[in-house]
């Protein structure tokens, strides 16, 4: 926050003015204070080289407006790589979910038909050879060779049947689940990189006015280093000090009026804070003569939508005393 006045002097002025009670006309004596702004130092959540600074001192910001950007030379390729990984994982999942192509099925079916036909031919040849062997016309070696051919034909036919059944049933549930997990992991990685990339742009979360610009394009800014200082000039505040005797009439949310030198306008406000600790300078105060100087800090929030008030300007505040 912008502090522009010695606290001890404000205490003494406020206490002295408030102790005077009411003027001869019966109106409350104004309390003295100084106009101040709520200010915020805005910076990037991560470090890097500043690419652009889009605002100047005195610029009026709107929510969401771009303030500055960091160089994306390293962050954007990392994001693109994650996007490619996600695309590949999704394509693999689609292949598993779609199952075998019709062309693959027809090809295996044709191979299976040929294997069955070969097995049938070998089986008939073996049957004839066994009949001839019983008559002693075929040597035993010939039967052994045909039996080996039959076993091989059966094995090829069985393998093709298993392959065809696998193609028709599609991928196993475990394979599909693993592919989906890879898709989820790739999507999470992409989301993380996109979030990191988004943090290369500093935006205004609230409206305000740029009081200071701390960095320039080309400089390296660390995480949290202020880039600009922004203030809410439409709602300044003034802290005044109310004597203990007058605190009972001050209420949170109660009305107040502020005036500054050189401006005839009266600015409306409200009591935002009543301090819970009594203050005094010096700290020792036990005599009845000094006790009236005991004061409490009261903050008054002012409505100034046009932004006419300036931080550091002396102000006179009148507190409303109605409940």
The backbone torsions φ and ψ at residue 152, rounded to the nearest 5 degrees and listed phi first, read -65, -40
Distance, CA of 83 to CA of 169 (rounded, Å) = 31
| Residue entry with tokens 């009305």 | 255
Q: Is the pLDDT of residue 70 over 50?
A: yes
Distance, CA of 161 to CA of 159 (rounded, Å) = 5
**Residues 133-144, mean pLDDT to the nearest whole number:** 70
Q: Residue 298's pLDDT is what?
A: 92
Distance, CA of 244 to CA of 248 (rounded, Å) = 8
Q: Is the pLDDT of residue 69 over 90?
A: yes
Q: Is the pLDDT of residue 60 over 60?
A: yes
Q: Is the pLDDT of residue 57 over 70?
A: yes
**Burial, 223: exposed, middle or buried (Cβ in 10 Å; 0-12, 13-18, 19+)?**
exposed
Q: What is the pLDDT of residues 265-316, one digit of tens each?
A: 999 999 999 988 887 654 444 455 555 667 888 999 999 988 899 999 999 9
**Residue bearing the bigger pLDDT, 153 or 322:** 153
Confidence of residue 190 (pLDDT cuts 50, 70, 90): very high
Q: Residue 5's pLDDT is what?
A: 44
Q: What is the pLDDT of residues 27-53, one digit of tens each?
A: 567 899 999 999 999 999 999 999 999
How many C-beta neighbours within 10 Å does residue 126 have? Answer: 17
Distance, CA of 39 to CA of 32 (rounded, Å) = 22
Tell me if the bond preceding 271 is cis, omega within 30° of 0.
Answer: no
pTM listed for this prediction: 0.62
CB 10 within 8 A of CB 35: no
Q: Is the pLDDT of residue 78 over 80?
A: yes
**Residues 80-106, mean pLDDT to the nearest whole number:** 83
Q: Percent of the chain having pLDDT more than 90? A: 47
Alpha-carbon distances, residue 168 vs 36, 113, 257, 307 (angstroms): 77, 16, 84, 75
Q: Residue 4's pLDDT is what?
A: 46
Q: Which two tokens stand for residue 105?
A: 């099925």
Distance, CA of 52 to CA of 314 (rounded, Å) = 38
Alpha-carbon distances, residue 247 vs 16, 256, 323 (angstroms): 15, 14, 13
Among candidate residues 265, 272, 280, 200, the one with its CA nearest the CA of residue 19: 280
> Among positive and negative, which fits the CA dihedral 112, 117, 121, 127?
positive
**Residues 137-164, mean pLDDT to the nearest whole number:** 78
Q: Is the pLDDT of residue 124 over 60?
A: yes
State the chain's mean pLDDT as an integer: 82
Confidence of residue 8 (pLDDT cuts 50, 70, 90): very low
Q: Which two tokens stand for residue 198?
A: 């988004």
């Amino acid at each position: 926050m912008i502090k522009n006045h010695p606290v001890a002097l404000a205490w003494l002025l406020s206490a002295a003015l408030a102790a005077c009670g009411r003027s001869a006309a019966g109106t409350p004596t104004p309390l003295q204070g100084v106009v101040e702004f709520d200010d915020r130092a805005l910076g990037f959540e991560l470090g890097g080289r500043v690419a652009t600074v889009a605002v100047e001192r005195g610029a009026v910001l709107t929510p969401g407006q771009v303030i500055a950007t960091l160089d994306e030379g390293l962050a954007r390729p990392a994001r693109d790589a994650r996007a490619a990984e996600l695309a590949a994982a999704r394509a693999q999942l689609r292949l598993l979910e779609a199952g075998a192509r019709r062309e693959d099925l027809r090809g295996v079916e044709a191979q299976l038909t040929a294997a069955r036909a070969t097995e049938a031919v070998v089986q008939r040849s073996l049957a004839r050879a066994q009949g001839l062997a019983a008559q002693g016309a075929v040597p035993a070696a010939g039967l052994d060779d045909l039996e080996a051919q039959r076993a091989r034909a059966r094995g090829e036919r069985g393998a093709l049947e298993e392959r065809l059944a696998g193609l028709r049933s599609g991928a196993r549930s475990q394979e599909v689940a693993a592919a989906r997990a890879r898709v989820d992991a790739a999507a999470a990685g992409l989301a993380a990189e996109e979030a990191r990339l988004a943090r290369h742009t500093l935006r205004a979360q609230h409206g305000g006015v740029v009081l200071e610009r701390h960095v320039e394009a080309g400089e390296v800014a660390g995480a949290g280093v202020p880039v600009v200082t922004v203030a809410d000039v439409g709602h300044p505040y003034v802290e005044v000090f109310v004597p203990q005797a007058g605190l009972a009439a001050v209420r949170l949310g109660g009305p107040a009026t502020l005036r500054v030198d050189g401006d005839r306008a009266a600015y409306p406000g409200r009591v935002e804070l009543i301090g819970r600790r009594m203050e005094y300078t010096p700290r020792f105060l036990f005599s009845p003569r000094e006790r009236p100087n005991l004061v409490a800090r009261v903050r008054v929030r002012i409505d100034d939508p046009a932004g006419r008030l300036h931080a550091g300007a002396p102000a006179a505040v009148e507190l409303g005393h109605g409940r």
